[in-house]
A = this chain, B = another copy of it.
Amino acid sequence: MKEDPRLIATRQTAIDAAQRILRDEGVLHVTHGAVSKATGISRSTLYRHWPDARCLRDAAFRRIATPPNIPPKTDGPLRSDLRWLLGVLMGALNDTPWGQIAPQVVAAASTDEEARLVITEFMKDRFASVEAVFAAAIDRGEIATNVPVEQLIELAVAAPYFRKLIRHEALDEDWLDRHVDLLCSIAKTNSGQ
């Protein structure tokens, strides 16, 4: 009982187009009509797959909800592990469909339950990876005591996302180097609190 390849092909083609539209023109333009024009798939077929506009938009959101999982490198030292992990994360933000559509998903998340789930799920993954890196560093004794690691993790993730998704500023290697340097210097310094 294999699935009809025509269904698969239609879904693939349509969602690809929907994502491109989402990225280039915004959520307002993700409609059956626009996707039909972009792909040649007839409107009636699209309505068969996604009964209304909301379903179609949700599908475009959800598809990118599965970015490649990042298995963190935790063999130290901290600076190296962190630089590698955040480098991958930055690369995803800069160069993958996910990064290009993320602002739209974030935007939608304040009124769209589906988008909100996508974001929180995604962030949970990211935090877990960064946490693993810090946990390994703690095990190796690389981190000073009474350093608030929870907050450090938040800052590590917040900065690149803030720059990219809110300020729409460039994320480059230089910036990331400085970011990681600062994080490590905090981690290794007894804050004296």
B-contacting residues of A (Cβ < 8 Å)? 24-28, 103-104, 106-112, 116, 119-120, 123, 148, 151-152, 154-155, 157-159, 161-163, 165-168, 178-179, 181-182, 185-186, 189, 191-193
The secondary-structure label for the interface of chain A is helix
Residue on B nearest A25 in the bound complex, by CB: B111
A109 closest partner in B (C-beta)? B168
A/B interface sample: 28 pairs, CB < 8 A:
A24-B111, A25-B111, A27-B28, A27-B107, A103-B107, A103-B110, A104-B110, A104-B111, A106-B106, A106-B107, A106-B165, A107-B107, A107-B108, A107-B110, A116-B168, A120-B168, A123-B166, A148-B178, A151-B178, A154-B159, A155-B155, A155-B158, A155-B159, A157-B162, A158-B159, A165-B166, A166-B166, A189-B191
